[in-house]
Amino acid sequence: MFFFFSKVLLIFILPFTWVVIFIIAAFIARIWKPRLQCPFFVTSGVILLLFSNPFLFNLFASRWDIKPVPLKQSGSYSCAIILGGFSGPDAKGEGRFNGSADRFIQGLKLLSTGKVTHLLVSGGNGNLVPGNFREGTWVKTQLELLKVPDSCIVVESQSRNTLENAAFSKTILAQKRLQPPYLLVTSAFHMRRAVGIFRKEKVDIIPYPCNYMVADPELSFDQLMPDAGILGGWNFYIKELVGNIVNYFK
Could you tell me if 145 and 94 lie in one domain? yes
Q: Which long-range contacts (CB under 8 A, 24 or more apart) does 230-234 make?
A: 230/51, 230/52, 230/53, 230/54, 230/57, 231/15, 231/16, 231/51, 231/52, 233/57, 233/61, 234/14, 234/15, 234/51, 234/57
**Would you say residue 1 has pLDDT above 60?**
no
Least confident range of 4-13, 121-130, 149-158: 4-13
Could you tell me if 52 and 85 lie in one domain? no
**Would you say residue 12 has pLDDT above 90?**
no
| Mean pLDDT, the chain, whole residue set | 90
Does 85 reside within a domain? yes
pLDDT digits (tens, 9 = 90+) for 225-241: 888 889 889 999 999 99
Structural domains of the chain, count: 2
Range(s) of the domain holding residue 110: 80-210
Confidence of residue 129 (pLDDT cuts 50, 70, 90): low
pTM: 0.88
At residue 138, the pLDDT reads: 96
Which one is predicted more confidently, 68 or 217? 68
Does 217 reside within a domain? no
**Would you say residue 3 has pLDDT above 60?**
no
Could you tell me if 95 and 184 lie in one domain? yes
Phi, psi of 81, rounded to the nearest 5 degrees: -90, 115
What would the mean pLDDT of 14-35 be, rounded to a whole number? 89
Could you tell me if 148 and 32 lie in one domain? no
CATH code assigned at 91: 3.40.50.620
Distance (Å, whole) CA 83 – CA 60: 23
At residue 227, the pLDDT reads: 86
Exposure string of 193-215, with b = 16+ CB inside 10 Å and e = fewer, is: bbbbbbeebebebbbbbbbebbe
Closest CA to 88 of 123, 124, 135: 135
Contact 141, 157 (CB under 8 A): no
What would the mean pLDDT of 197-211 be, rounded to a whole number? 96
Distance (Å, whole) CA 124 – CA 165: 9
Could you tell me if 177 and 93 lie in one domain? yes
At residue 216, the pLDDT reads: 66
pLDDT digits (tens, 9 = 90+) for 41-65: 999 999 999 999 999 999 999 999 9
What would the mean pLDDT of 108-135 be, rounded to a whole number? 90
**Would you say residue 86 has pLDDT above 70?**
yes
Confidence of residue 196 (pLDDT cuts 50, 70, 90): very high
Q: What percent of the chain has pLDDT over 90?
A: 66
